[in-house]
């Protein structure tokens, strides 16, 4: 399938690890000029080196998306290197702790919203003037199943992911006339390094095998994942690459669930 992504310029926020890293690698493999940002320089350098070794074109920018100056530097350096922005993947995000509502302070809520929602807003707002100048541009926001089917815990995180889906729909209506297609992708239980570390600790604490810890977590917390396994970052990346491609030219305002059947209702 010809995806038409060669020589497109893509920004991936939070592109130094986990799902963001997988997205950056997948876009680079399709011939995109990839710009990644994150707060940790060492992780950024490692991903940049890895993608360059594989023959990809990448530029890493150390940036904190909660800081307007960093966001402006990210956009200006992207334009300086590649002259355009064709694809924006708003992936950067934090969980903010596995707590229930009463254990969360207002500061906890503000911290998670500042990264997950306002960080996305800052980067999108800064990129839009350049994206309007390009043809067939895409904005893809990485939400979560928690934005549709929230748990009883982490209400602050769940609310940010619901806000991302709503923001996606709103922008899709506002900017279709400019040729900007806006969609979201909602993963569920993806085996990122962070999740793997947490499950490994669970396995050691219970003196059970890692696979047993995974299945125990699934049974207790994600019983609706019908494929009975975690997803892979590369599986999320595949959905993002498709939405960024010419093959998705009639898709906008959608929330694509990469969740193994986790969402219980078809209408959600």
Using CA atoms, how far apart are residues 113 and 119, in angstroms rounded to an integer? Answer: 8
C-alpha dist (Å) from residue 104 to 51, 96, 111, 150, 171: 39, 9, 11, 16, 30
Using CA atoms, how far apart are residues 117 and 98, in angstroms rounded to an integer? Answer: 18
**Residues 231 and 189: beta-carbon distance below 8 Å:** yes
Record the tokens describing residue 182, joined without a space.
Answer: 């806006």
- Tell me which residue of 161, 163, 219, 222 sits closest to 188, measured CA to CA: 222
Give the active site residue among 82, 99, 130, 157: 157
Using CA atoms, how far apart are residues 244 and 139, in angstroms rounded to an integer? Answer: 8
**Residues 246 and 4: beta-carbon distance below 8 Å:** yes
> For the chain, what's the residue count?
268
Q: Which residues of 27-36 are buried (b: 16+ CB within 10 A; e: fewer)?
A: bbbbbbbbbb
Beta bridge partners of 185: 142, 256
Using CA atoms, how far apart are residues 180 and 242, in angstroms rounded to an integer? Answer: 15
| 157 noted as active-site residue | yes
DSSP state letter for 149: S
Task: List active site positions.
Answer: 157
């Amino acid at each position: 399938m010809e995806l038409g992504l060669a020589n497109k310029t893509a920004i991936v926020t939070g592109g130094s690890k986990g799902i963001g890293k997988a997205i950056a690698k997948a876009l680079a493999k399709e011939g995109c000029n990839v710009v990644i940002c994150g707060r940790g320089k060492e992780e950024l350098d490692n991903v940049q080196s890895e993608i360059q070794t594989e023959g990809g074109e990448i530029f890493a920018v150390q940036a904190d998306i909660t800081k307007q100056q960093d966001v402006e530097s990210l956009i200006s350096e992207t334009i300086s290197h590649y002259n355009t922005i064709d694809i924006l993947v708003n992936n950067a995000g934090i969980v903010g702790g596995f707590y229930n509502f009463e254990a969360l302070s207002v500061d906890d809520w503000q911290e998670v919203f500042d990264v997950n929602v306002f960080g996305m807003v800052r980067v999108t707002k800064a990129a839009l003037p350049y994206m309007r100048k390009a043809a067939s541009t895409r904005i893809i926001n990485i939400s979560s199943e928690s934005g549709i089917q929230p748990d009883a815990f982490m209400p602050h995180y769940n609310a940010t992911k619901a806000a991302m889906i709503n923001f996606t729909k709103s922008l899709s209506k506002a900017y279709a006339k400019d040729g900007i297609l806006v969609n979201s992708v909602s993963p569920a239980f993806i085996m990122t390094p962070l999740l793997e570390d947490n499950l490994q600790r669970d396995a050691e604490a219970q003196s059970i095998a890692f696979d047993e810890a995974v299945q125990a977590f699934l049974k207790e917390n994600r019983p609706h994942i019908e494929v009975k396994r975690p997803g892979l970052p590369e599986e999320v990346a595949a959905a993002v690459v498709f939405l960024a491609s010419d093959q998705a030219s009639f898709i906008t305002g959608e929330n694509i669930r990469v969740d193994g059947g986790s969402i219980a209702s078809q209408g959600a």
